[in-house]
Chain A
Amino acid sequence: MQVVFGVQKIFNLACGSFYALGAYVGVSAVGWYAAAGGPPALFIVPLALAGLAVGAVGVVIERGLLSFVYERDETFQLLLTFAVVLMMEDAIRLTWGTAPRSTAGLYLAYGQTQLLGATVPVYNLVVIAASLAIALAIGWLLTRTTFGRIVRATADNREMAAALGVDLRRVYAKVFTLGTALGTLGGALVIPATAAMSEMGIELIVEAFAVVVIGGLGSMRGAFVGALVVGILRSFAISIYPELEMLLIYLIVIAVLVLRPRGLFGGAGV
């Protein structure tokens, strides 16, 4: 989300929907995989592949809808992407029904392990490792490759990038598709640990906005710290007084907006 916003300067609420979509497609893919008799130990392969493949809807949405509002006011972008959120939510209900869906039993297919005195499903460690690998890969892509440098230049000054021969539409389409694929992949990967629900998209958006506001728009470091703050606060609140969970996050968001409107790591250039 940070990368996409930074490059396109467009507010995209739909990222939460992509996350939900990835989750549902992941559930179905694993269902088919199990029905076809694939070995349970490898279920993460169809899960990840399904997550990535459904990222292709990003191309359709970017070309078909978003490319018309790049020059418009941010309000239009918010409205349009919110419309996408609502439509996707209904599309998901139509396809998969309203009841939560889960990948029964696969969560513990890799067993559990002892870590610092606590019992942790191995799958959680797999997901953490995968997230780290993805973060490193994105970092490498942005800083070490020609494409990444062009993306950063475009985020910095798109008029100038165009004058140096960068085809903005192609860069936007590629970045948006990449962002969508990461969202759907993320949705697919968390699904064994929870259940797919049609509201999960909106829930994620709220949380992601909290992360982004706390961290500062367009800053990867800020996003990381923001995510840590939100995650720690939530578990802290749940263990002390569960009703406070979301309230506490909103309080922090309000405090950050009042005291540091650009977020903890937001630069002046955003």
Chain B
Amino acid sequence: MLTVHEIDVFIQASHILRRVSLEVGAREVVCLVGRNGAGKSTTLRTIMGYLRPRSGRVELRGQPIQGRRTHEIAALGLGWAPEDSGIFTDLTVAENIEIATWTRRGGRPAAERLDLAYGVFPVLRRYMTRKGPEMSGGERKMLSIARALALDPEMLLLDEPFEGLSPTIIPSVSDGIAQITRLGHAVLLAESNIHHVPEYTTRLYVIERGEIVFAGTLDDAWRDATVLRIIGGTR
């Protein structure tokens, strides 16, 4: 579905990503794990077209997408939930979610897409007329993911969906993501702590200083001393 092939990304003069490659198959859940500043967000932002790789390829269903504009990449079927949630604070919860159905037409009808989005995080229905500033961090994360889902994408990119959340709210966000994968969407998820990586993860990549240093299953990662040193964190 999505192939990132040996991309090098520079931000001004600094070399941020070095020959990063990764792959996400249809219906797979792939985690990109690394410390803060290792290059997780840069990888996802490059896939979304905010940054241009100096070399290498990004392909969606075999079609190169590097260098295309962000709204075109979204229209090709990538849903994006950034680390800071990116909620439109001036709009209500309902308007935030509906935007995706106005900009990308075709595919499933709008009502069905909205039902899907609210179905994953039913708690959002209660806040429909609320605006961004009145929401908690967990609710913002949920809204951000639900909004990306309303775009009816084949694949979701989630940048640290559990970051900064209280332990009591993490399970409901995690359950929502599990439900999204059961609906058939592929997911690429960035995470800084291996303890937050969901058990249903198909594959896991570890990134350190802009380079992929490990690729394998979650079980393999737990047995790898280097991986645990980098992202073991503390419970």
A residues in contact (CB < 8 Å) with B: 146, 149-150, 152-153, 155-157, 159-168, 269
Q: Is the CB of B88 within 8 A of A165?
A: no
Q: Give the CA-CA distance A160 to B140 in the complex, in Å.
A: 14
What is the interface of chain B, defined by CB distance below 8 A to chain A?
Answer: 48, 50, 69-71, 74-75, 80, 82, 86, 88-91, 95-96, 98-100, 102-104, 147-148, 151
CA distance in complex: A187, B69 (Å)? 37
Contacts of A155 in B (CB 8 A): 90
Report chain B residues within 8 Å CB of A152.
88, 90-91
CB pairs A–B below 8 angstroms (8 shown): A149-B91, A153-B88, A153-B91, A153-B96, A163-B70, A164-B100, A165-B74, A168-B71
* CB-based contact A166/B71 at 8 Å: yes
- Decide yes or no: A146 and B102 within 8 Å by CB, A163-B70, A163-B74 being known contacts: yes
Distance to closest chain B CB from A95 (angstroms): 38
Residues of chain A within 8 A of B88, CB atoms compared: 152-153, 156-157, 160-161
Given A159-B50, A159-B70, A160-B82, A165–B100 Cβ distance below 8 Å?
A: yes
- Partner of A164 from B69, B89, B99 at Cβ < 8 Å: B99
- State the CA gap A269–B91 with chains docked (Å): 14
In whole Å, how far is B9's beta carbon from the nearest beta carbon of chain A?
17
In the complex, A153 Cα to B96 Cα: how many Å?
A: 8
A164 proximity list for chain B (CB < 8 A)? 71, 74, 80, 99-100, 103-104, 147-148, 151
The listed residue (A157, A159, A166) touching B103 by CB distance below 8 A is A166
Most buried by A among B48, B71, B98, B148: B71
Q: A98–B185 Cα gap in the complex (Å)?
A: 66
Contact A162 B74 (CB under 8 A): yes
Among A156, A157, A160, chain B packs the most CB atoms within 10 A around the CB of: A160
* CB-based closest 9 A-B pairs: A165-B103, A160-B86, A162-B70, A163-B80, A153-B88, A165-B104, A165-B74, A156-B88, A162-B71
Q: In whole angstroms, how far apart are the Cα atoms of A146 and B89 in the complex?
A: 16
Indicate the member of A155, A157, A164, A167 with the most B CB atoms within 10 Å: A164
Beyond the given A152-B88, A163-B148, A164-B74, please list 15 additional residue pairs across the A-B interface where CB-CB is below 8 A.
A149-B95, A149-B99, A152-B90, A152-B91, A155-B90, A156-B91, A160-B80, A162-B69, A162-B74, A163-B71, A163-B80, A165-B74, A165-B103, A166-B99, A168-B71
How far is B74's CA from A152's CA once the two chains are assembled, in angstroms? 19
In the complex, chain B residues whose CB is within 8 Å of the CB of A159: 50, 70, 82, 86
